[in-house]
Amino acid sequence: MKAVLCTSFTGPADLRVGEIDEPKPAGDEILIDVHAASVSFMDQLVVSGLYQMRPPTPFVPGTEASGIVVAIGDKVTRFAPGDRVACSAWTGGYAERMIAKDSKGVLLPDGVAFEAAATVLHNYGTAYYALVERARAQRGETVFITGAAGGVGLAAVDLGRHLGLHVVAGVGSDDKAALVQSYGASDVVNYRSEDLRDRIKSITSGEGIDIGFDNIGGAIFEQMARLMKWGGRLMPIGFTSGEIPQLPMNLPLLKNYSILGVFVGAWAEKFSAEAARMNDTLMQLLAERKIHPHIDRVLPLEEAGEAMRAVANRTVQGRIVLKIR
Ranges of CATH 3.40.50.720 domains, the chain: 123-264
- Contact assessment for residue 96 and residue 292, using Cβ atoms and an 8 Å cutoff: no
Digit-coded pLDDT (tens) for 113-129: 999 999 999 999 999 99
Ranges of CATH 3.90.180.10 domains, the chain: 2-119+294-323
User: Counting every residue, how long is the chain?
Assistant: 325
Q: Indicate the class that CATH gives domain 2-119+294-323.
A: alpha beta
- pLDDT tens per residue across all 325 residues of the chain: 999 999 999 999 999 999 999 999 999 999 999 999 999 988 999 999 988 889 999 999 999 999 999 999 999 999 999 999 999 999 999 999 999 999 999 999 999 999 999 999 999 999 999 999 999 999 999 999 999 999 999 999 999 999 999 999 999 999 999 999 999 999 999 999 999 999 999 999 999 999 999 999 999 999 999 999 999 999 999 888 888 999 999 999 999 999 999 999 899 989 999 999 999 999 999 999 999 999 999 999 999 999 999 998 888 888 999 999 8
User: Can you tell me the distance from the alpha carbon of 40 to that of 311, in angstroms, rounded to the nearest whole number?
Assistant: 7
User: Can you tell me the distance from the alpha carbon of 139 to that of 141, in angstroms, rounded to the nearest whole number?
Assistant: 6
- Contact assessment for residue 257 and residue 230, using Cβ atoms and an 8 Å cutoff: yes
- Contact assessment for residue 3 and residue 20, using Cβ atoms and an 8 Å cutoff: yes
Q: Which CATH number fits domain 123-264: 3.40.50.1100, 3.40.50.720, 3.40.50.970, 3.40.50.1170?
A: 3.40.50.720
User: Can you tell me the distance from the alpha carbon of 294 to that of 151, in angstroms, rounded to the nearest whole number?
Assistant: 8
SS3 294: coil
Q: For residue 179, which of 311, 38, 318, 312 has the smallest C-alpha distance? A: 318
Digit-coded pLDDT (tens) for 228-263: 999 999 999 988 888 899 999 999 999 999 999 999
Q: Kindly give, in sequence order, each residue whose CB lies less than 8 Å from that of residue 278, ignoring residues fewer than 6 positions away.
A: 125, 128, 129, 133
User: Can you tell me the distance from the alpha carbon of 306 to that of 299, in angstroms, rounded to the nearest whole number?
Assistant: 9
